[in-house]
Amino acid sequence: MDRRIAFIGFAVFLGPFGGNTVLSMLHTIRNEFHTTPEVIVLSITFFMLPYAFFMLFSGAVSDLWDRRKTIMAGLATYAAGCLVCGLASGIVPFLAGRLVQGLGFAFVNPVALAFAADIVGPSRRGEVMGWMGSMTTLGTAAGPLLGGVASEFDWRLAFLINLGAALGAIAMFASCCSVPSASGDRGEFFRLLKAAAQDRGVMAVSLSAALAFLAYGGVLAFLSTYLTSAPFRLSDAQVGMVISGSGVAGILASPLAGRAADRFGRSAVSAAGLLAAAACYGAMAFTGGWLALGAMFFAMGAMMAFGWAGLVTLSVELMPGARGTSSSVFNSVRFLGFAVAPQVFTVVFLARGMGPVFLLSAAFVVGAAVLALGVLGREKAMKRSEAARAQAPPAGVSPGPQAGAGGGPPCPPPPGSGPGRPPV
């Protein structure tokens, strides 16, 4: 395997790893800082809002500048946020550190996915995106588990471990070849963003992903409170194990999901996975024991792997001339859904409890499946276009953004493509 794919996978892992560390130790941090549940849950929002907002621009930056340098700058900012959280003496600096973490990782995740799509050809792109999904869900699983275990000693250790991991990732990319892009002015930057915003396929998969993440974030925001209260009364470590179950399932299922997306189509596989995940959410509303709930969480994670494999692959294929930009818009919109989830679900949880939260999540994921199916026609047209280009190769190739000089040796073009950037 190309070592760049391994580096990218580790970078993709770091965001959910650091972002979700707090989930299993929210009440421990709340007690130390003598704050309220409504305030401490903002630690999720303060990470996700800058992450979702600034991610909107990071991919276009990488399309016009350099993917590797963009990722390294984001990792350095993320590391600074980890340090601030680990040294925080009160809730205000802690929330500030979470904000810096989110800001930094906004310049990592979508750029890393576009980088991976640059490296591999379309026949294996779903498989590679499935592997990226495994790394994302590994971070989702390891983050709460790390938080639960660290809080038994000192919750600050979790953030210092994240700091070390981020510095290690920077060292990895420093040894990697550069991916230079053509220099572009501000007009070109906004042209790319406008093209992505006006692309119906990009917006459909983005909104589908936002609904899916809105559902997941709404459940996660209150699952710790739910499981540490009567009748469950679980410890932080046990809560971390329950939450991590969905991540473990995603790790196992994502490679298979990616291969399924390559074979059966991105939209169809995504919609099928989302509908199955919605059924799992619905079943959770009627599950009484924590072991049974953990089993349903595990099944939901496996099904969501199929949903994400199709959606993420589409996000880097719908605009082949500006993968970074389309990946940015997709990830910005989907993580915005996660960012606002605590606020959307708070009223439901406080008024009705966890059962309606599970049912509302199921409804959102059904809506996500409908949107994913709406891209099926566009996907078929893309395949016909690819087949036509394969039978009649272009007479010449114009220079593009990957041909310029960068801060290191340029990476070779992806298999099956020329060095130029197709029109947006």
- 276-324 confidence digits (pLDDT tens): 999 999 999 888 778 888 899 999 999 999 999 999 999 988 888 788 8
| Mean pLDDT computed over every residue of the chain | 83
Which pLDDT band, with edges at 50, 70 and 90, does 186 fall under? Answer: low
Task: Looking at mean pLDDT, say which of 40-49, 60-69, 352-361 comes out highest.
Answer: 352-361
Inform me whether the pLDDT recorded for 38 exceeds 80: no
Cβ neighbours for 255, distance < 8 A, ≥ 6 positions apart: 127, 130, 131, 134
Inform me whether the pLDDT recorded for 170 exceeds 90: yes
Inform me whether the pLDDT recorded for 398 exceeds 50: no
248-258 confidence digits (pLDDT tens): 888 889 889 99
DSSP string, 120-139: S-HHHHHHHHHHHHHHHHHH
Lowest mean pLDDT among 8-17, 66-75, 119-128: 119-128
Q: Report the pLDDT value the prediction gives residue 289, as an integer from 0 to 100.
A: 79
Q: Report the pLDDT value the prediction gives residue 421, as an integer from 0 to 100.
A: 45
C-alpha dist (Å) from residue 161 to 16, 142, 218, 422 = 14, 12, 27, 41
Which pLDDT band, with edges at 50, 70 and 90, does 388 fall under? Answer: confident
Which carries the bigger pLDDT value, residue 304 or residue 21? 304
Pick the CATH number of 3-392 from 1.20.1250.20, 3.40.50.300, 2.120.10.70, 1.10.150.130: 1.20.1250.20
**Structure token digits, residue 322:** 């500006």
Euclidean distance between CA atoms 336 and 55, whole angstroms:
10
Confirm whether pTM is higher than 0.95: no
Inform me whether the pLDDT recorded for 84 exceeds 90: yes
Which pLDDT band, with edges at 50, 70 and 90, does 399 fall under? Answer: very low
Q: Report the pLDDT value the prediction gives residue 67, as an integer from 0 to 100.
A: 84
DSSP H helical ranges for 265-322: 266-284, 290-315
Average pLDDT over every residue of 118-141? 81
In sign, the C-alpha dihedral spanning 375, 376, 381, 383 is: positive
Inform me whether the pLDDT recorded for 215 exceeds 90: yes
Q: Report the pLDDT value the prediction gives residue 423, as an integer from 0 to 100.
A: 44
Average pLDDT over every residue of 118-125? 81
Q: Report the pLDDT value the prediction gives residue 368, as an integer from 0 to 100.
A: 96
**311 within 8 A of 258, measured Cβ to Cβ:** no
Q: Report the pLDDT value the prediction gives residue 327, as an integer from 0 to 100.
A: 87
Which pLDDT band, with edges at 50, 70 and 90, does 181 fall under? Answer: low
Average pLDDT over every residue of 213-231? 84
Helix axes 156-174, 122-151, angle to 10 degrees: 150
Task: Looking at mean pLDDT, say which of 46-50, 238-242, 398-402 comes out highest.
Answer: 46-50
Inform me whether the pLDDT recorded for 345 exceeds 80: yes
**Structure token digits, residue 329:** 């818009």
Inform me whether the pLDDT recorded for 162 exceeds 50: yes
Lowest mean pLDDT among 185-194, 200-209, 224-233, 411-420: 411-420
Q: Is there a cis peptide before residue 342, judged by omega within 30 degrees of 0?
A: no
Inform me whether the pLDDT recorded for 390 exceeds 80: no
Which pLDDT band, with edges at 50, 70 and 90, does 128 fall under? Answer: confident
Q: Report the pLDDT value the prediction gives residue 293, as an integer from 0 to 100.
A: 85
% of the chain residues with pLDDT over 70: 89
